[in-house]
A and B are shown apart, each in its own frame.
Chain A
Amino acid sequence: GAGVSQTPSNKVTEKGKYVELRCDPISGHTALYWYRQSLGQGPEFLIYFQGTGAADDSGLPNDRFFAVRPEGSVSTLKIQRTERGDSAVYLCASSPDRGNYGYTFGSGTRLTVV
């Protein structure tokens, strides 16, 4: 597509439930990134994929968070046993290389855990 697409745009879930957030990057972009933006903060790095593999997952806060990109295109961020502190906007971005010239961000998924 023309841009990075994220679905759903909004997700409300109950504490303890499992959620999946989807990112469809720009066609041909090999690099894909997930960031999390809490209210009033700048985005924080979660994970970076180069192709199908997670080249850097050092930003994932704990083992409840996991992300996959099985075919090197679409990625899914998975959160198990959600907590209220997971509430944030989850941003996905892609770039044709390692991002030296900037990333293209999607509009994000706003996750609210109640």
Chain B
Amino acid sequence: AQSVTQLDSHVSVSEGTPVLLRCNYSSSYSPSLFWYVQHPNKGLQLLLKYTSAATLVKGINGFEAEFKKSETSFHLTKPSAHMSDAAEYFCVVIRVTGTASKLTFGTGTRLQVML
């Protein structure tokens, strides 16, 4: 079975400082992984995706993530946080078989950005 574990339920940073949101995955084969962001009272938005091409993936709003097979990790980073980055972030693994497709979400990390 595939799963993801988000290591921090809450991360607080100051505006202008780096962001690191940690995610570890478990999969019996090379997974496809995503990061989604959810702003309050809004829908989930795809930030970036890893699908076995380049291991360093760049997404929207300056976010990027690096797939590290040896560490089974897919951490999300951003060099400089902005107030508008405050939201809930979900690490997600997808399982695609012959007829089925299913996303499994982590429990989420709430990012707080302080002035």
Contacts and interface: CB of A to CB of B under 8 A. Distances in A.
Contacts of A45: 102-104
A100 B100 contact: no
Sorting the interface of chain A by its residue count into under 10, 10 to 19, 20 to 34 or 35 or more gives: 20 to 34
Interface of chain B: mostly helix, strand, loop or mixed: strand
A42 B4 CA distance: 11
B34 A91 contact: no
Contacts, number: 65
Contacts of B90: 42-43
Contacts of A56: 99-102
A41 B104 contact: no
A55 B46 CA distance: 23
B100 A91 contact: no
B107 A41 contact: yes
Contacts of B104: 45
Interface string B83-115: 000000010001010011111111110000000
Given A99-B96, A105-B43, A43 B34 contact: no
Nearest to B105: A42
Q: Determine which residue in A48, A95, A99 has the highest number of CB atoms from chain B within 10 A of its CB, and name it.
A: A99
Give 8 nearest A-B pairs by CB, closest first: A42-B105, A107-B43, A105-B44, A98-B101, A56-B100, A99-B101, A102-B46, A105-B43
Interface of A: 4, 31, 33, 35, 41-45, 48, 50, 55-56, 59, 91, 93, 95, 98-108
Interface of B: 32, 34, 36, 42-46, 49, 51, 90, 94, 96, 99-108
Given A4-B43, A45-B104, A56-B101, 4 more contacts: A41-B108, A99-B101, A105-B45, A108-B43
